[in-house]
Structures are given as structure tokens and as C-alpha cells.
Amino acid sequence: MSFPSQAEEQALHERVLKKNESLASQDVFRVFMAPITRVLCRNRRKTKEEAHDAVCDVLMEYLENPERYLAHKSKLSSYLTRNAEMQVRDMYRSQEARQRREREFGEAIELRATAPNRSLEIIVEARHLVGQLEQAIQEQDRAALGLILQGERSTDALAKAMNLPQLSEKELRREVKRNRDRLMKTLGRIGKEE
Amino acid sequence: MSNPDWLERAALRAQRASWTLAYTLERYRQLEDRTEAELARDLGCTREVLYWLCLCRKPEGPDFDTQVTAITERHEVDLRALVDVIRHVEIVDALSERVADSNGEERPIQMAARDRVPGEKTSP
């Protein structure tokens, strides 16, 4: 099925503009649906269903606002086909964006997730290590170690957790470093033993 | 002539626009709890004809009669039943709007003749 002549298109457009002829919208579908779908399938390599959805949306948009089509600028069929091509492109872009979002989300999950058999081993190892740490590290050092493992770098915060007395800034920094090194050395030793 | 493969899909998409007959028919189907097949039977037509009707602009205004007649001349459909369906939805929507306007929110409306089938004759 091919596009109608310009005179036929114009006559149909005038019927649509009046908005008082119920069958005019049905005729727009009868006249344009098949040829525009064919153009989309050929030029854009879309499936028939994708093309149908795009053409439907464009025809509905035209029927709702027929005055947007300016007859002196182009043929109605050209106007509708161009809009349908843009609609297909928009649909393709939003589909691609959705797929990219889903892929990125999937990759993030994949990176963070642990294989089911491995997670059980990790739980056992962690429990064993905690037992070792409790034995190797004294009660007063545990708070400081907790902060260090959480990435705390503030001298004051670490000094408080280490129960250091009032010292000058320079001495406090040196004491915090000394205690920190000692704890890290202990951790390193436990790690080597394992 | 066989029906095109896009017909059902287009009819479904047309339901989104309130100016279409598709919107009115779908609204009626929901209000009256009818299946598509039942609605087609009420209108005295096939499902395919029902899909074609969906692509029409809803008849309204001073040319209402002319528009409905034109539809029934092209498609085999019961004119009286089609008018009943359109009017039924118009009345329910108008009442819903009035209730919504006076109360600020929509309330379900009790329809006295809800169980009447479109086109069915009523005793005077």
C-alpha cells in the first residue's frame, strides 16, 4: 500500500481539522499506518511491532493536534513519516539508556556479590580471626583498632581511643603513630600466622 | 478484506486519548464490568469491528447524530446500543466530575439502571 496523492492527503487533513467527523481518525490509520510502517522497517530496521507502536503514537499525536501540521511546508505523509522516524529514534535511545542502566547495575552487583560457597568460607575465617584478635590484642587497644580499621585518621580521636594522657601536639602525634604501628604490626603478625 | 495486523495494537493504544471512542468503550467496559467479547455482543458487532470503532473520534456536539450514523453505515453495529454506551459514559463522567467538584474528591456513584444492557427496550 502506497501513500495517497497530495490532494487526497489534503482532503483528509481538512476532515481531521474539523474534528466533527468521527471516521476521519479511523481513515488516517487506514491510509498511513501501513506505508509508514514499511518505511520504518526498511530504513530503521525495526521490528514490525516497534514500528507499529511508533506510527500509532505519531498518528495519535497528529489527530490530537492536527493544527501543528503546516500544509505549506511539506506533504502530510512526509510530516508523519519524519515524526515516526524521530519517535523510533527516541524509543531506541530510551531503550538503550535503560539497558545501560541495567547493565551497570548488574555489574555493580556482580562485583560486590560473593559466590555462595565462598561466603560460607569467609564467615568461618572471619570468626576464627576475630578469636585470634581477641587473644592477641588487649582490651584497651580494641577501641583504637576499631577506629583504625574504619579509616579514622584524626590524631585527637585516636589519642582519645588509646587513652593517652595530655601531651603536646608533637608528642601526641608521635605517641599515636607509635601505638598505631604497634597495632598494625600485631595485625600483620596474626595475618602471617594464618 | 482481512483486518490488518496492527489493528488490535492501535485500538489498545487509542484508549489513552480521551477524545477517542476507544477511551469511551474501555471506560464503559470497566464501569459495567464487561469483557471485550461481551461489549462486542452488546453492540451487535464482532471484536474486529470493535477495534475499528476504537480508532474513531468520539461523536459529540451538534453533529452527534450524523457522526453516529456514519459509523453505523460503515460498520455493522447497533446504532441504538452505540448511542446508549456513549451517553452512559458521558453521564457517569459528568456526575463524577460534579461530585468531585462539590466534595473535592471523587466518590463512587450508584447507578440506578446499572444492570440494563445497552439497546435493551425498557417498559414505559
- pLDDT per position in chain A (194 positions), as tens? 789 999 999 999 999 999 899 999 999 999 999 999 999 988 867 788 889 999 999 999 999 999 999 999 999 999 999 999 999 998 888 888 888 888 877 776 666 666 667 777 777 777 787 777 777 777 778 888 888 888 888 888 888 888 888 888 888 888 888 988 888 888 888 777 76
Contact B17 A64 (CB under 8 A): yes
Q: Is A16 exposed, middle or buried (0-12, 13-18, 19+ CB in 10 A)?
A: buried
Chain A residue with CA closest to B12: the answer is A56
Chain B residue with CA closest to A16: the answer is B57
Contact between B20 and B65 (Cβ < 8 Å): no
Q: How far apart are CA B50 and CA B34, in angstroms?
A: 13
Residue of A25, A52, A64 with shortest CB distance to B6: A52
* Residue-level length of chain A: 194
- Fill in the amino acid letter for B123: S
User: Which of these, A181, A152, A182, A177, lies nearest to A167 by C-alpha position?
Assistant: A177
Q: How far apart are CA A13 and CA A17, in angstroms?
A: 6
ipTM above 0.85, yes or no: no
C-alpha cell at B115: 444492570
Contact between B8 and A39 (Cβ < 8 Å): no
Partners of A31 on chain B (C-beta within 8 Å) are none
Buried/exposed A152-163: b ≥16 CB within 10 Å, e otherwise: eeebeebbebbe
Contact B56 A49 (CB under 8 A): no
Contact between A6 and A12 (Cβ < 8 Å): no
Output the furthest CA–CA distance in chain A (Å, rounded): 97
How is residue B62 annotated by DSSP? Answer: G
3-state secondary structure of B57: strand
Beta-carbon contacts of A186 under 8 Å, excluding residues fewer than 6 positions away, are A136, A137
Contact B59 A48 (CB under 8 A): no
Contact A22 B9 (CB under 8 A): no
pLDDT digits (tens, 9 = 90+) for B64-103: 999 999 999 999 999 999 999 999 999 998 888 777 666 6
Contact B6 A56 (CB under 8 A): yes
In order, the DSSP letters of A63-78 are: HH-GGGS-TTTS-HHH
Bridge partner residues of B20 (DSSP) = B57
The whole-angstrom distance between residue A191's C-alpha and the CA centroid of its chain comes to 39
How is residue B63 annotated by DSSP? Answer: G
